[in-house]
């Protein structure tokens, strides 16, 4: 039987939490771990009671990277024919908002996993890096693209070519993370943020997430066209009728998420 490497919780209404639980390897991401994260996220994505998802690790390590002991065995043919990155891309395709709550090491694939999420809440001990160069390889799950978008070319080059590690304070300064809290509080604060997002109308949150992500893919005009299309579509939702009515009637809205 495959070992279970994640814990699944619903700490408060509307919030689904996935906790990496492979402490003996600092949450190193082998194929089973990534498959289990993807499967759990897809289950929360399909669950009408969940409005926001949190991915977290331990205080010591969010994840110390892809599993080096597993990768050591791999050849180029094995990588190509096994298409080992497919399960990673499932994570980036989740339609609901996803928050990474990061403490300790977020290295290599661990940093890439955090960056696949929509927001990062970090502890003061969080340390971000892409040290693949030390192994004779390079980031393969989005690091060269997402880190560059997040922190800019100069810092991204230094992180990836020179194995520079970014502290939580630096990551906040460069725009990689949303917020930084003491280690005793970062997860509670991530849950609070997720709980707030989970109370928002669910169709609109998905439309916003999708449109913001298009800002990385499309030209400005194409992105504006996409935004306009989503904006118009929301006028067909019950939540739009309810939100505007509630404002006019000076009462809180009752969202239906449809």
Cβ atoms of 116 and 88 within 8 Å: the answer is yes
- Which two structure tokens, joined as six digits, stand for 51? 């409005």
> How remote is the C-alpha of 107 from its chain's centroid?
14
Catalytic residue, chosen from 40, 63, 64, 66, is 66
CB burial of residue 163 (10 Å; 0-12, 13-18, 19+): middle
- Which two structure tokens, joined as six digits, stand for 185? 């509080």
Nearer to ligand HXC, 29 or 99 (CB): 29
List residues near ligand HXC by CB under 6 A.
25-26, 28, 64-69, 105, 107-109, 131-132, 135, 139-141
Nearer to ligand HXC, 2 or 219 (CB): 2
Determine the straight-line distance between the first and last CA of the chain, rounded to whole angstroms: 40
Catalytic residue, chosen from 104, 108, 109, 142, is 109
Minimum Å gap between C-beta 200 and ligand HXC is 32
Nearer to ligand HXC, 131 or 202 (CB): 131
| 112 given a catalytic annotation | yes
Minimum Å gap between C-beta 108 and ligand HXC is 2
Nearer to ligand HXC, 106 or 155 (CB): 106
Nearer to ligand HXC, 5 or 105 (CB): 105
| 9 given a catalytic annotation | no
| 249 given a catalytic annotation | no
Catalytic residue, chosen from 57, 101, 112, 122, is 112
Round to whole Å and give the CA distance between 250 and 51.
25
| 242 given a catalytic annotation | no
Minimum Å gap between C-beta 227 and ligand HXC is 31
- Which two structure tokens, joined as six digits, stand for 206? 């998905």
Round to whole Å and give the CA distance between 42 and 27.
20
Longest distance between any two alpha carbons in the chain, whole Å: 64
Which residue from 185, 228, 208 is spatially nearest to 118, judged by alpha carbons?
208
Cβ atoms of 216 and 226 within 8 Å: the answer is no
The residues assigned a catalytic role are 66, 109, 112, 132
């Amino acid at each position: 039987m495959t070992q279970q490497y994640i814990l699944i919780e619903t700490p408060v209404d509307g919030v689904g939490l996935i906790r990496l639980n492979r402490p003996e390897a600092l949450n190193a991401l082998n194929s089973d771990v990534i498959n289990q994260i993807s499967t759990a996220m897809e289950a929360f994505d399909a669950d009408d009671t969940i409005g926001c998802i949190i991915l977290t690790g331990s205080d010591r390590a969010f994840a110390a990277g892809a599993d080096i002991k597993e990768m050591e065995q791999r050849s180029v043919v094995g990588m190509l024919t096994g298409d080992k990155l497919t399960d990673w891309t499932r994570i980036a395709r989740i339609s609901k908002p996803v928050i990474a709550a990061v403490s300790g090491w977020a290295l290599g694939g661990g940093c890439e996993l955090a960056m696949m999420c929509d927001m990062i809440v970090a502890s003061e001990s969080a340390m971000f890096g892409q040290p693949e160069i030390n192994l004779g390889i390079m980031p393969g799950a989005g690091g060269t693209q997402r880190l560059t978008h997040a922190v800019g070319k100069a810092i991204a080059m230094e992180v990836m070519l020179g194995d520079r590690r970014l502290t939580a304070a630096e990551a906040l300064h460069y725009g990689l993370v949303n917020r930084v809290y003491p280690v005793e509080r970062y997860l509670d604060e991530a849950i609070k943020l997720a709980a707030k997002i989970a109370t928002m109308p669910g169709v609109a949150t998905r439309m916003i997430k999708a449109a913001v992500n298009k800002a990385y893919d499309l030209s400005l005009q194409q992105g504006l066209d996409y935004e306009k299309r989503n904006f118009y579509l929301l006028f067909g939702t019950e939540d739009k009728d309810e939100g505007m009515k509630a404002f006019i009637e000076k009462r809180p809205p009752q969202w239906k998420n449809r």
